[in-house]
Amino acid sequence: MNLSLALATAALLTAQPSTLPPGHPVIPPGTTASPATSGMPEGHPPTEGAAPSISPEQLPPGHPPMSGTGRAPPSAEELLRQLDSTEGLADREKTFEIAASLGRLYYVNGRNAEASTYLQQALARAQPTRELFLAQRKKLGKATVPTAEAAGCGFTPNMPVEDMGAAAQARAKKGDTAGAAACARAALAPVLDVAVMQANALYLSNDSGKALVAYDAVLEVEPLHEEALYARAALLFETKGDDVAALKKAGEGFEAVATTYPDSFRAPMAKRMVALVEETVKAGGRKQLLASRAEDRRIRLSQAPAAAAPDAPRPLSQEMVDAVKGTERTPELEQGLAKLVDEGEELLAKGQYQEALANYTRVVPFQPENGRAKAGMAWALVSLERPMAVRVWGVAVQTDPLSVETLGDTLKAKGDDKGAKALWEKLATDAPDYPNKASLQAKLGK
């Protein structure tokens, strides 16, 4: 949580309660502190002692920066509490930057419904600029939209989106189609990031249909936007696995990512997804592919010699979850994530799989290597019978099967004997070459 976001959010909290103690006289507007009375307003009763001021140089090493009031900037949790208690905040007029900051704050804290509200408000502020760009680009026809530098837009790094949009609109009124398109496109750079975040929030809120529309809107402006291309392709593959036309679009998206961004961390997975999509299309859809694989497996097993090694590994898919950008690992963040994992396991043991999944979706983006979180998220998806359960479960079993087995121990310890047994049975079935197989069989009483 950076200070600029904290300040932007605080700007909305105009109805904060007074910080003066109960019964304190009203301080008229414009009253200034008197140097002769240790910073107190004129006429203020004498105090028994004033706290000495502390300069930044006197702070111990590693101390968080202090604001001008001598207090540390508010934490994300404190800001959320203030925002939640501010009546009518969602209905207030906001600039693009403030609405986007609020949406981002809620988004990174796993509150996707609230995030979507504010992110949509930000996008609405930028909608005229978006429409202007699409119209001017259409006028250009096959001509390339120039860069903002080439067009001489003169935008500064912190220039508000709406001011940049106004500058582009002025170019359009003068008949400068190329310049208007260039400046409008430059103004939309931060808007596209917000639009992708909005699409992600919709997906995490189980609204895949609106998420697809949101990703399409980003790609309408920037057809080669890496994150939107990849996310849209993945969502099409996940939700429309039996729609061959949609699968082909997914394949095109993965191919574009792999070709356009060969050095991206998404490129290796995109290449593998291209092959999987091609296989799925060739089979006529996911159901047909799974049925074909099951039949092939049945034939292989029926033809296998009796002396075949019992521990011979069977081919396993090598899928992996999307890598996400890391964040600074502060002790507070680590403690908060650990608490979410503990709570997730409690919820799993109680059969509250949707609530548990919400916890894990807040942990895994920050700790993709967390075996407990991967195992818990996989089991929640399996229990909810979600389309992506097979993929996530496969990743958890292949990368950290011990954490999956240990989750069963945790469920059993928390009283969920049935859930523990079901998890172990699935692990034994899906990982026949599991090194700790003997222990797993013992737990199953075999």
Q: What pLDDT does residue 356 have?
A: 93
Token readout for 24 is 């304190």
Q: What pLDDT does residue 2 have?
A: 42
- Apex CA 253: angle with CA 110 and CA 364, to 5°? 25
Give the end-to-end CA distance of the chain in Å, rounded to a whole number: 51
Q: Are 341 and 363 in contact (CB under 8 A)?
A: yes
Which residues are within 8 A (CB) of 239 and not within 5 positions of it... i.e. 6 or more apart?
Answer: 208, 212, 387
Which residues are within 8 A (CB) of 429 and not within 5 positions of it... i.e. 6 or more apart?
Answer: none
User: Collapsing DSSP states into helix, strand and coil, what is residue 33?
Assistant: strand
What residues does CATH 1.25.40.10 cover in the chain? 331-443
Q: What is the pLDDT along the chain (446 residues), one digit of tens a residue?
A: 343 444 444 444 433 444 455 455 545 545 554 444 445 556 656 555 544 555 655 566 655 555 555 566 777 788 888 887 888 888 889 999 999 999 998 898 888 999 999 999 999 999 999 999 999 999 999 999 999 999 999 999 889 999 999 999 999 999 999 999 999 999 999 999 999 999 999 998 889 999 999 999 999 999 999 999 999 999 999 999 899 999 999 999 999 999 999 999 999 999 999 999 999 999 898 888 888 877 777 777 666 554 433 333 333 333 433 433 445 667 787 888 889 999 999 999 999 999 999 998 888 887 888 889 999 999 999 999 887 888 888 888 888 888 999 999 999 999 998 999 999 989 888 887 777 777 777 888 75
Token readout for 192 is 């596209």
Q: What pLDDT does residue 53 have?
A: 55
DSSP structure string for 319-344: --PPP-------HHHHHHHHHHHHHH
Out of 3.40.50.300, 1.10.10.1100, 3.40.190.10, 1.25.40.10, the CATH code matching 331-443 is: 1.25.40.10
Q: What pLDDT does residue 4 have?
A: 43
Token readout for 64 is 């968080």
Determine the Cα–Cα distance for residues 93 and 90; give it in Å rounded to an integer. Answer: 8
Q: Residues 278, 279, 282, 286: is their CA dihedral positive or negative?
A: negative
